Chains A and B, each alone.
Chain A
Amino acid sequence: MPLLEDPARLSKSRLKSDLLAHNVALPPANSRKDVYVELHLKHIEQKDAAEFSSDEEDRGQDEAEDEVVDGDDPGGRDPSALTDDGLKAALIQHGVKVGPIVASTRAVYEKKLRKLLESGGHDEQVNGEEGNAVLYSDSEDEEGSKGAKGEGDEHSEHSQQDMSQNNNFAYPQCFILSSKLRAPASETRKPCPAKNPKNALKSSERGPCHCSRIPAGISRASSVNQRSGLGSRVPNGLQPAKSIGCSSGSSQAFSITQMVEEMESRRSVSDTESNGSDVQELRSQPSRLLTVDQPAVKNQTLFYTPEAFPVKPGPKPPVEPVNGVSKDIFPAQASPTGIYATRRRPIKGAAGRPVQYVFPDTPSSPATLERREAERRLVPIHIQILVFLIVVILLYLVYVVVEDSSLDSAMSLLDSPNQASDVEEFHAPEAPAFSEQE
C-alpha cells in the first residue's frame, strides 16, 4: 500500500487505481490530477488515520478493478470504504436523511458519517471510563447499607423492563418531575428499600420512595445517566464483550452475571425491533474502529467480574430511569452523536429548577394575587370611610355656618362681583381715551 507515499507524486493512473481500490467514486474522466490527489488525500489518508486493518486494504487492492466491497456491514468500516449503497445504509441507520449519493455529494455524506462515528465512539469511551470512576463507590455504599435482599429478581425484572422501554424510547417523561414534586414530602419517610431510581420507574406507588433519593443524588444520577444509557443499548450490538464494557457503569452496581442474562434476553427480544437494534448496532460500530482503545475497555470489564465482587447481594442498577428521561426529551435524536454529553446538563439544570421553584410559586399566582390586592384595599377602605365621614361632617358644619350667616355673606359675595364689574366698566372707556391721547 502506498500509505507513506505522497499522493502528489503518484501517477494519475496509480491514483485512479488506488481510489478504485478504496471504492471511492472517481471524478470525471477528464479531471486534472489535482482532483485525484485531493480525493486520495481525503479518502485514503483518512482511512489510514482511522486505523483500518491492513488485511482489508490488501484485499481491497487485490480487487482493485472490480468494486467488490459491498455494504454488508455498513458503518463498521471507514466511510470511504463503503459503496454508495453501503454509505447510504449506514447513514440511514444513524437516522440521517440521505439524498442521492453521487460523486459530488459523497464527500459530504462520508464526512457526516465519519462525524457520527467519531462522536459515537468517543461517547462510549468516555462513558465507560467515567462510569467506573463515578458510579462504583456510590452504588456499593448504597448496597452495603441498604442490603435490599430478596428484591433481586424483582429488580432484574424491572431493570430489564426499563431497558426495553428505553430501547423503544417510550419512557414516561413525567416521571422525574412528579418524583421531584413529591420528594420533599417523602423525605421523612423510612429509607426506601430500593434506593436506585431505576426501580421508581416501574410503579407509581413506589415512586415517592425512590424519589426521595433523587434530590439528594440527582447530580450523581445525571452524571451517570449518559453512560448507563449507552450501556442499556449496546448489549444488542454486535459484540457482547464490548457491550459489557460499555455498560460497565451500571453493571458494576450489581452482579455481572445477571446483567449478562438480561442482555441475552433483551437481545432476543430486541432483535425483532429493528429500530432499536439499528441504533444499538451503530453505536457499537465506532468502537470497532477505535481498536486501540477497545482492549482497555474490555480489560476494565473483565476486572469487574462477579468473582471480584462476590458480596453484592441484589442487582441494583442505580440510575437507569433518569437516563430514559433524557432520551425522552430528545426522542428524535436517537442517533449516537456526541449530543448526550451536552444534553445531560440542561436536564440537570432546567429540569431541576422549575420543579423546585414552580411549586411554591403556583399558589401565589393570579387568583391569590387578586385576593391579596383586595385585602390590601380593604383596610384602607375603612380609613377612607372614616375620612369621608369626617369630610362630610365638616362640610355639613360649614354649610350650617354658612346658612346662619347666609344673608350677609351672600350679599357680600353678590356685591363684590358687581363692584368688580363696575370698576371694570368704569375703567374700560378710559383705556381707549388713553390710547387716543398717545
Chain B
Amino acid sequence: MSSTSQKHKDFVAEPMGEKPVNALAGIGEVLGKRLEEKGFDKAYVVLGQFLVLKKDEELFRDWLKDTCGANVKQQGDCFGCLKEWCDAFL
C-alpha cells in the first residue's frame, strides 16, 4: 500500500488493547456494526480470525467479505492494518 490512512497509522501505532472493531482500518460504522452482530465486537476478535486463517490474504479477504460485505478496498485496508500490526507486535 503506497499510502496509509490515519486510521491505519493509529491502529498500527500501539497495541490494540480493547479497541472496538471499527478501530480497524477499512472497518467503518456499517461494517463494524455487522461484525459486532456476528460476534466480532473487538478488534482482537478479528485479529483472532486473521491469525487462525494463518494471515492468508485471500482467505481473510473472503472471510471479511462474507461476514460483513466489505468491498475490496475495505478488505485490503483491514488486512494491511492487521498484517502490519502483527509484524509490529507479534
A: residues with CB less than 8 A from B are 97, 99-100, 102, 104-105, 107-109, 111-112
Report yes or no: B66 in contact with A104, Cβ–Cβ below 8 A.
no
Report yes or no: A112 in contact with B59, Cβ–Cβ below 8 A.
yes
* Top 8 A-B residue pairs of the complex, sorted by shortest distance between their CB atoms: A99-B54, A108-B63, A108-B59, A105-B52, A108-B62, A99-B53, A100-B52, A104-B49
Given contacts A104-B49, A108-B59, contact A97 B66 (CB under 8 A): no
Which residues of the partner chain B approach A105 to less than 8 Å between Cβ atoms?
49, 52-53, 59, 63
Chain B 53-87 interface mask (CB, 8 Å, partner A; 1/0): 11010110011001000000000000000000000
Report yes or no: B53 in contact with A108, Cβ–Cβ below 8 A.
yes
Give Cα A107 to B63, complex, Å.
8
Q: List 26 A-B contacts (CB under 8 A).
A: A97-B54, A97-B56, A99-B52, A99-B53, A99-B54, A99-B56, A99-B59, A100-B52, A102-B52, A104-B49, A105-B49, A105-B52, A105-B53, A105-B59, A105-B63, A107-B63, A108-B53, A108-B59, A108-B62, A108-B63, A108-B66, A109-B59, A111-B62, A111-B66, A112-B58, A112-B62
Which residue of chain B lies nearest to A111 when distances are taken between CB atoms in the complex?
B62
Give Cα A309 to B78, complex, Å.
60
**B interface size (C-beta, 8 A):** 10
Give Cα A33 to B71, complex, Å.
27
Which residue of chain A lies nearest to B48 when distances are taken between CB atoms in the complex?
A104
Give Cα A99 to B58, complex, Å.
13
Which residues of the partner chain B approach A112 to less than 8 Å between Cβ atoms?
58-59, 62
Taking chain A's interface residues, is the majority helix, strand, or loop, or is none over half, making it mixed? Answer: helix
Which residues of the partner chain B approach A109 to less than 8 Å between Cβ atoms?
59
Which residues of the partner chain B approach A99 to less than 8 Å between Cβ atoms?
52-54, 56, 59
Give Cα A109 to B58, complex, Å.
11
A324 CB, nearest partner CB in chain B, Å: 27
Chain B 10-47 interface mask (CB, 8 Å, partner A; 1/0): 00000000000000000000000000000000000000
Give Cα A97 to B53, complex, Å.
10
Which residue of chain B lies nearest to A27 when distances are taken between CB atoms in the complex?
B39
Which residues of the partner chain B approach A111 to less than 8 Å between Cβ atoms?
62, 66
Which residues of the partner chain B approach A104 to less than 8 Å between Cβ atoms?
49, 52
Give Cα A100 to B59, complex, Å.
12
Which residues of the partner chain A approach B63 to less than 8 Å between Cβ atoms?
105, 107-108
A92 CB, nearest partner CB in chain B, Å: 13
Which residue of chain A lies nearest to B66 when distances are taken between CB atoms in the complex?
A107
Give Cα A97 to B57, complex, Å.
12
